[in-house]
Amino acid sequence: MFGSKYKLYIDGKWVNSNSGQTFSSLNPAKPKQVLGRFQKGNENDVEKAVEAAEKAFDSWSDITAPKRGLILLKVAELLKKNKEKLAKLVTREMGKVIAEARGDVQEAIDMAEYIAGEGRRLFGHTTPSELRNKMCMTIRMPVGIFGLITPWNFPLAVPAWKIFPALICGNTIVFKPSSDTPLCATKMVEILGMAGLPKGVVNLVTGPGGSVGMSIVKHRKIRGISFTGSKFTGETIVKEAGLKKVGLEMGGKNGIIVMDDANLVLASDGVIWGGYGTTGQRCTAASRVIVHEKIKEKFEMMLVQRIKKLRLGDGLKSTTDVGPLVNKAAQEKSMNYVEIGLRDGAKILIGGRIPKMKGFFFEPTLFTNCTIDMRIAQEEIFGPIVSLIPVKDFDEAIDAMNSVEYGLSSAIYTEDIRKAFLAIQHIEAGLTYVNSSTIGSEVHLPFGGVKHTGHAREAGIEGINEFSETKTVYVDYSGRLQKAQIDIT
């Protein structure tokens, strides 16, 4: 059943890379299980993918957007039909528990349906001219060939957030998924093909970021790059992309503020879900809890009781609460951060070890007595490690929240409406949740961050902006030469 050899998808055909090399995708819960062997693509494959995307561009962008949307509705249907199979695949390939894996597929379905509708709403603006008998408006244009580079932690949803809006806007695509989740990406592209997408419109090149990814980033015929991944890779991409349109969605060090008037049961639900859901491997994971000192001890006890009950295991088992980390490097990274935290003077309340289990598991870990300058309170760990930072009042809580270089998601638990609105106003982040965890975006609202998380906005109408250009149009029907700024009477 597993271990098949998969190919690249270029110009509507499944083809081998001319590198002659392959790499494997493993199940992180059972690392001996090879899920498939994938083409180790190279620069020549990217070149062929770009040629195919270039050839397909004129006819694809000439299809009207509502008609392009019809293909996305078929994609949604196919995703629905295969939902359970795809969810199992997500769990097997990156480890998240099955309920969350179903969420991953559902997000892709939601995105396909939502974006299909946007095909009838690719609105521009009309506005009065400063001159008589002249009309001003804006219309949307495709960008051209888009390079899409995605991470592994939402192996279907993140590609869906990029591929569907890029398609509805009339772009053609060269897609390079994470080398940890090439099977999910391949299945997504298979579905696009089954839905009737014309050849060359989406091309898949699997292979290493440093070669395949970089060739996409540097390619002169690629006009736009949409990247989701770590800050370190994003920084390299920005330096190498030249004058392309570049959208970056990068890391987070998201915090939850728990005020002394908070509903602590609700807040502990939020911390457990935000901190340990997807084993802490979400860009929106709540890796910091900024807690009022008056309720610190009580809240710590509540969290420890909850964490003790979390069951580690294979995400396919319905009894599992927390799955494995994606690979060995991620497991070692978490262990390394535990040592850093202890060296810096933080105290472990629970967890902090690699359990004796096959697979890349790590104990859900809670540090307390953290200060904002500690590395565990500043750096993205991407594991099940939460740092509790005590503060004496609301102002200190906001300062702690804003003390990191990232600015993706944030949350505050309080029953005080004034504090809730002040938090909304003063937290430096792309997302703020009130009395809810840092997780839970919906596809019709924009998603993205500020500061070193990047400035892209995906989903919602703002997501359409990422994948289209605005053209300004002036139509003068006065029958004479009218000069803006000069003919002012």
How far is 304 from 314, CA to CA, in rounded Å?
A: 22
Count helices and strands (H / E) in the chain. 14, 22
Closest to ligand NDP by CB, 119 vs 229, is: 229
Report the nearest approach of ligand NDP to the CB of residue 152 (Å).
5
Closest to ligand NDP by CB, 7 vs 80, is: 7
Burial class (CB in 10 A: 0-12, 13-18, 19+), 199: middle
How far is 470 from 235, CA to CA, in rounded Å?
A: 26
Closest to ligand NDP by CB, 219 vs 306, is: 219
Beta-bridge partners for 134: 476
Contact 193, 12 (CB under 8 A): yes
Q: E-assigned strands of 322-467?
A: 347-350, 365-368, 385-391, 406-407, 409-413, 431-434, 450-451
Closest to ligand NDP by CB, 239 vs 480, is: 239
Report the nearest approach of ligand NDP to the CB of residue 424 (Å).
20
How far is 422 from 147, CA to CA, in rounded Å?
A: 39
User: At 235, is the secondary structure helix, strand, or coil?
Assistant: helix
Report the nearest approach of ligand NDP to the CB of residue 467 (Å).
15
Report the nearest approach of ligand NDP to the CB of residue 153 (Å).
5
Handedness of CA 431, 432, 437, 442 (dihedral sign): negative
What is the DSSP pairing of strand 30-39 with strand 22-27? antiparallel
The secondary structure of residue 211, as a DSSP letter, is: I
Residue 53 CB partners (closer than 8 Å, separation 6+): 145, 172, 173, 174, 200, 201, 203
Report the nearest approach of ligand NDP to the CB of residue 475 (Å).
39
Contact 255, 439 (CB under 8 A): no
Q: Is 283 a catalytic residue?
A: yes
Q: Is 93 a catalytic residue?
A: no
Report the nearest approach of ligand NDP to the CB of residue 26 (Å).
13
Q: What is the Cβ-side half-sphere exposure of residue 330, based on CA atoms within 13 angstroms?
A: 24
| Per annotation, catalytic residue among 100, 113, 249, 300 | 249
| Per annotation, catalytic residue among 113, 169, 184, 283 | 283
Residues that bind ligand NDP (CB under 6 A): 149-154, 158, 176-180, 208-210, 213-214, 217, 228-230, 233, 236-237, 249-252, 283, 380, 382, 408, 449, 453
Beta-bridge partners for 322: 312
Number of other residues whose CB lies within 10 A of the CB of residue 133: 12
Q: Report, as residue numbers or ranges, the catalytic residues.
A: 249, 283
